[in-house]
Structure 1
Amino acid sequence: MESYANGKWNSRAPVVRILTCKVCNEPAPLYGVTDFNKSCEERRGRYLPLTGVPVYYHRCDSCGLIFTSAFDHWSKGDYLQHIYNDDYVLVDPDYIDTRPAGNAVLILDFIKKGHALRCLDYGGGNGKLTSLLREGGVDGHSWDPMDEGGASPSGSFDFISAFEVLEHTPEPLATIQRALGLLNGRGVLLLSTLTIDHVSPRGMDNWYIAPRNGHITLYTRRSLQTMFAGFGYRVHHFNDNLHMALKDDPSWLS
């Protein structure tokens, strides 16, 4: 199933009723459908005009992952044209300043016992968070897959943040593997993504299921644990939105 194919939108693409879960490979029946322009801002009463382009989501019977395959074959150019364009600020106004500022405070407190930690903001967007961390004396680096000019990160890192990243990837296992591959042996990955553990049948009204924001893969705690366990990592959930993955506790985390 695709809602976008061959360089153009296709609202008449056939719908596959059952797909394979992108995390645990178990059956994932069709869960629901929404318009492409459904955004997170709807929870604040702000609605974009409907496009008439349906985006179908599936939900795994086993781990609970909710995902769409509608964007699986998109190129970077497709994402930049249709999602991460100049209008993205309308569906996520907090990404410019508010979220980076709050996350910088969180990270500076989180790593305050560390010394000369090499830190990477994975999926760092406009780089604002990394700039704030550097102002706080952190050896900070930033990388984002949608940055057309940014070089891929090199070397290993003691700490990696991935705020509001995992819900944007059509390939969760590949994304996690790449991020974890940049951690050193006792490194820590701190990530934010809203886990949706309790959903009703055809519960597509959940505000976090938002294709216009690029929210195309939504997790439960179980799906996160399953995914990271496959790479030898355990997950600690601070709350429904903030999570930590690691193998061994570094000394600075105690």
Structure 2
Amino acid sequence: MTDYFKNKIDKEYANKPATKIRWDKTLEFMGSGKNIKSALDIGDRTGLTEMMEDKYGVKFDNTQGDLDKIELKGNYDLVTSFEVLEHLFNPLFNLEQINNVLNKNGCLILSTPLAKPSFLWAKKHFHEMSKRSIYALFESAGFKILRHGYFRVHPFLFYTSGIRPLMRLFLDKIQIYELVDVNSLSDDR
């Protein structure tokens, strides 16, 4: 089953136009690497993981297991988490775990869908967060927002293919953030 997923599902996902747009926009937001010596990508390896490794010249570790339960280990200059939080029962636990493994002056780059009406949610999403709710979540986990942005992931013609896709033109965005530990400038980790 794992081989089927890696060979068929991952390949199909990677070849979708929306995936290419998502990965390109994410890399654009990330910009050039700032002296990154260690990195962790939350979730399974994807084509984006490989693109980040090429761009920053560092091997990314990846998580294994249930992110609602596992304790993250290690120390990292950069942690990335792309479209993961909405799939977790307890995103606060995951963010606290990430904060624990960030080096002093390390950063987290995270993206998640911006909240939209629940009938437009993907079936596997437990949460979609508004700007206000995600800011509160970041604060509770001890993060400070350095910068943020928004982007859409579908090619324009997708939005003309029906009523639900047209609604997504106005309601469906990805929010992306660069975060640091609120204590990183005064904390000697």
TM-score range, shorter chain: 0.5 to 0.7
Cα deviation per residue 1:51-100 (whole Å; 9 max; x = unaligned)?
xxxxxxxxxxxxxxxxxxxxxxxxxxxxx9xxxx85x949x943577637
Match of 2:148 among 237, 242, 245: 237
- In structure 1, how many angstroms separate the alpha carbons of the residues matched to 2:88 and 2:125? 8
RMSD across aligned C-alpha pairs, in angstroms?
3.8
**Percent identity between the two aligned chains:** 20
> Are 2:139 and 1:204 aligned?
no
Question: Residue 109 of structure 1: CA displacement?
Answer: 6.9
Matches within 5 A, 1:28-47: none
**In structure 2, what is the Cα distance between the partners aligned to 1:217 and 1:226?**
14
After superposition, the Cα gap between the structure-2 partners of 1:185 and 1:174, relative to the gap in structure 1 and judged at 3 Å, is same
**SS of 2:114 mapped into structure 1:** coil
Alpha carbons of structure 1 residues 96 and 144: separation in structure 2 relative to 1, 3 Å = farther
The two structures have a TM-score, normalised by structure 1, of: 0.49
CA contact (8 A) 1:143 1:153 kept: no
CA distance in 2, matches of 1:158, 1:136: 15
CA distance in 2, matches of 1:221, 1:163: 16
- Tell me the residue number matched to 2:154: none
Aligned partner letter, 1:238: G
Q: What whole-Å deviation, never above 9, does each CA across 1:149-199 have from its counterpart, x for those lacking one?
A: xxx864211111111111111111111111221111211111111112xx5
Aligned to 2:180: 246
Deviation at 1:128, TM superposition (A): 2.8
Paired position in structure 1 for 2:38: 118
TM (norm. structure 2) is 0.63
**Aligned to 2:59, what secondary structure does the other structure show?**
strand
Residue by residue, what CA displacement relative to the aligned partner does 1:99-155 show, whole Å, maximum 9, x if unpaired? 3785377447735251243222111x23432323333352131323459xxxx8642
Looking at structure 2, the residues matched to 100 and 143 of structure 1 have their Cα atoms a distance apart, in angstroms, of 21
Alpha carbons 2:92, 2:141 under 8 Å: kept: no
Distance 1:180 1:210 in 2: 27
Letter in 2 for 1:204: S
Separation in structure 1 between the aligned mates of residue 15 and residue 65 of structure 2, nearest angstrom: 15
1:226–1:137: structure 2 CA closer, same or farther, 3 Å change rule? closer
Letter in 2 for 1:110: M
| Partner secondary structure for residue 134 of structure 2 | helix
Match of 1:165 in 2: 84
1:54-69 equivalences under 5 Å are none
Paired positions, count:
153
1:227, 1:153 → 2: CA distance? 19
Aligned mates of 2:143, 2:72 — CA distance in 1: 21
Offset of 1:217 from its aligned partner?
Answer: 1.4
Change (3 A) 1:117 1:111: farther
Instruction: Give the Å deviation of 1:244.
Output: 2.1
Structure label with greater radius of gyration: 1
Letter paired with 2:136? T
Question: Gaps (5+ residues) in structure 1?
Answer: 1-79
Q: Residue 218 of structure 1: SS of its match in structure 2?
A: coil
- Structure with more helix by fraction: 2
